[in-house]
Amino acid sequence: MATTEFGQAVRLWRDRVSPEAAGLPAGGHRRATGLRREELALLAGISVDYITRLEQGRASNPSAQVVEALARALRLSQAERAHLFRLAGLAPPGPETVPAYITPSVQRMLDRLTGTPVAVYDASWTLLMANPPYTALMGDPSGWRGNQRNAVWRHFLGPGSRARHTPESLRAFEAALVADLRAAAGRYPADQRLRRLVAELRGGSDRFAELWDSGAVGHHEAARKTIDHPHVGPLTLDCDVLTVAGSDLRIMLYTAEPGTEDAERLALLTVLGTQALIG
């Protein structure tokens, strides 16, 4: 019954969200005003087939990560999000876990930054959402699962990112990442996912273990970064990280100095997106 009710709730809330409210073009004739399954899949980073099976009650036991992604894509309130977790047979995230809820006001602000690469991370540097310009700039994260979505894991154990580093900037960046993660672990000691992440990083990366055990101190500051893009070449951009008071979210924005070649390349990326640059 819970599986059926979960699917019914997702369908009901999907019908209530217009494409415009979700930052998508309405496009062509629509039988309903709400989101199509394909659009919800795009926003949540989940396959259309899986959403179909969830709505039809043919898929059970969605993970907390899937429920969180659906709640975010459907613009659910705190109470609705908690209800969706219960329908999935999961305990709603409490104050002892790393917050992953993007408030409607923050979401509205993000919707207005259509020409700026923006990503939202939680306190442990797990990616919650990335808008199309960010995806075009840094790569498509829609296929990432689990720790693949965590920036600390990707740096120390995964493929890294497109950002170029000097030895000095790399040391400062790594110290800031580890210090941020240690601070999050201190604030949310009962978060099992965060504890597993730290254990995997300490076991798999000598550099991470060295920084973690040494008590490295650092914090993210505004910086100029060079992004090596595979199609348009290097872009030197300003990277700012904003923290949302009360929610521990990090909003990362990339901007270019007006009138520069970097600004032209960023504008090209924003217009073309990821699809036109492939092939």
Segment 66-112, tens digit of pLDDT: 998 899 889 998 899 999 999 999 888 888 889 988 888 888 888 88
Q: How far apart are CA 126 and CA 120, in angstroms?
A: 9
Compute the average pLDDT of residues 231-235: 92
**Length of the chain as a residue count:** 279
The answer to whether residues 226 and 90 touch, using CB atoms and an 8 Å cutoff, is no
Q: How far apart are CA 252 and CA 102, in angstroms?
A: 14
Q: Which tokens go with 227?
A: 């992004």
Residues facing residue 223 across a β-bridge: 239
Compute the average pLDDT of residues 162-179: 92
Distances (CA, A) of 9 to 72, 104, 206, 225: 14, 19, 45, 43
In the chain, CATH 3.30.450.180 covers: 104-277
Please report the pLDDT score of residue 1 as a whole number.
44
Please report the pLDDT score of residue 42 as a whole number.
84
Q: How far apart are CA 258 and CA 14, in angstroms?
A: 39
In the chain, CATH 1.10.260.40 covers: 2-87
CA 213 to chain centre: 28
CA dihedral 132, 62, 39, 152 (to 10 degrees): 0
Q: What is the pTM of this model?
A: 0.79
Encode the chain in three state secondary structure: CHHHHHHHHHHHHHHHCCCCCCCCCCCCCCCCCCCCHHHHHHHHCCCHHHHHHHHCCCCCCCCHHHHHHHHHHCCCCHHHHHHHHHHCCCCCCCCCCCCCCCCHHHHHHHHHCCCCCEEEECCCCEEEEECHHHHHHHCCCCCCCHHHHEHHHHHHCCCCCCEECCHHHHHHHHHHHHHHHHHHHHHCCCCHHHHHHHHHHHHHCHHHHHHHHHCCCCCCCCEEEEEEECCCEEEEEEEEEEEECCCCEEEEEEECCCCCHHHHHHHHHHHHCCHHHCC
Give the CATH architecture of domain 2-87.
Answer: Orthogonal Bundle (1.10)
The predicted-structure confidence for 4-37, as pLDDT tens digits, reads as follows 899 999 999 999 988 877 777 766 667 767 898 9
CATH assignment of 104-277?
Answer: 3.30.450.180
Please report the pLDDT score of residue 279 as a whole number.
41
Describe the strand order of the beta sheet including 249-255 as a list of residue ranges. 127-130, 118-121, 249-255, 233-244, 223-229, 163-164
Where residue 152 falls among pLDDT bands split at 50, 70, 90? very high
